[in-house]
Amino acid sequence: MKKDCIIDDNIYYLKTSSGKKITVRRLQMELLEIMDELHRICVKNKIDYALIAGSALGIYNYKGFIPWDDDIDVCIKKEDWLRFIDALKRDLSDKFYFHCFETDDRYNVLIPSMKIRKKGTYVKEVNTLLRNKCDGDGIFIDIVIYDNVANNKIWDELKRLPIRALMIPMVLLDNLGFKALWLKKIILRKAEKYGRKNKDSKYASQTIAIPWEKIMREPIFPKEDVYPFRLYEFEGRQYYSYNNVEAVMKKWYGENALKKWDGEKWIETLPISKRHPKHIADIELDEKK
């Protein structure tokens, strides 16, 4: 873990239909409110969670958000999932609400397993293929289930292909206004069966019910690098992430994604042309649209 990280001075802005100038940094501070609440609930109820994806890369490179990152990604272990939902029902502050299939069958199972949202805000995602059908469009953090996966990458990929095939009818039915409950349940059953079958494997990853990564690029990680989750500094707070953030980030994004030391300072390796927020098409933080 690197000790000294330099944050870029550039300011990144979000798209708004109202013409307001909202910085990515302001959104990040709002997302931290949701994350603080998730952390509080998980600690109170002894539920394991971890920052993943770009949020974990932010831990390594910045000890916080990547400056242009406009979301937070979190995982919850499959065995804790239903207990986590019960904890949210019981303990979540009335400043927030959440969407998932287990509590609202309009929720599409192909997107992150859950979204925890903040009241009094509005966001429209760039992705319009899988629109939010649940009540409320507040800013959110994404939560995915982490489960067991096969030790063999080729076998893992073969097991993901049927769900990738089901994506097409699922997207079509969803956009035509159908709940397609039978199809959602098939997808979830396949994912759960796969996780149970591989309970003794040495690898873990997000549930195969979320099959969006490119073929042969779906990241699977040695469990010894993933578990147990550990505390890391994130924006002056302590949040959990992978047991070995560096190893997982190298496997997920490649070694070149990690900041490099040039002898005097840490250098961001991502090309400037790619340093921009990418998930938000419209946003309002002051009042619900």
214 band by pLDDT with thresholds 50, 70 and 90: low
Supply 27's token pair. Answer: 């959104």
Percent of the chain with pLDDT over 90: 65
CB 205 within 8 A of CB 149: yes
Q: What is the pLDDT of residue 158?
A: 87
Which of 222, 220, 260, 257 minimizes the C-alpha distance to 243?
A: 222
Of 20-24, 48-52, 264-268, 273-277, the poorest mean pLDDT is in 264-268
Instruction: Give residue 168's Cα distance to chain centre.
Output: 22
Confidence of residue 225 (pLDDT cuts 50, 70, 90): very high
Pick 226 or 153 by higher pLDDT: 226
Q: Say what the pLDDT of residue 245 is.
A: 96
In the predicted model, what is the mean pLDDT of residues 91-115? Answer: 95
pLDDT at 178: 86
CA atoms within 13 A on the CB side of 214: 3
211 pLDDT above the threshold of 80:
no
Q: Where are the domains of the chain?
A: 13-284
- pLDDT mean over 104-110: 92
- From the centroid of its chain, how far is CA 15? 21
194/148 Cα distance (integer angstroms): 8
Mean of per-residue pLDDT scores for the chain: 90
Helix axes 24-44, 81-91, angle to 10 degrees: 100
Task: Say whether pLDDT at 109 is over 50.
Answer: yes
Whole-number pLDDT of residue 9:
58
In this predicted structure, the answer to whether residue 217 has a pLDDT above a threshold of 70 is no
Task: Give the number of other Cβ atoms within 10 Å of residue 176's Cβ.
Answer: 8
pTM: 0.92
- Work out the average pLDDT over 161-188: 89
pLDDT at residue 5 tops 60: no
pLDDT (0 to 100) of residue 18? 85
pLDDT tens profile 115-144 = 999 999 999 998 767 788 899 999 999 999
- Please, which pLDDT band fits residue 6 given cuts at 50, 70 and 90? very low
Average pLDDT over residues 69-92: 97
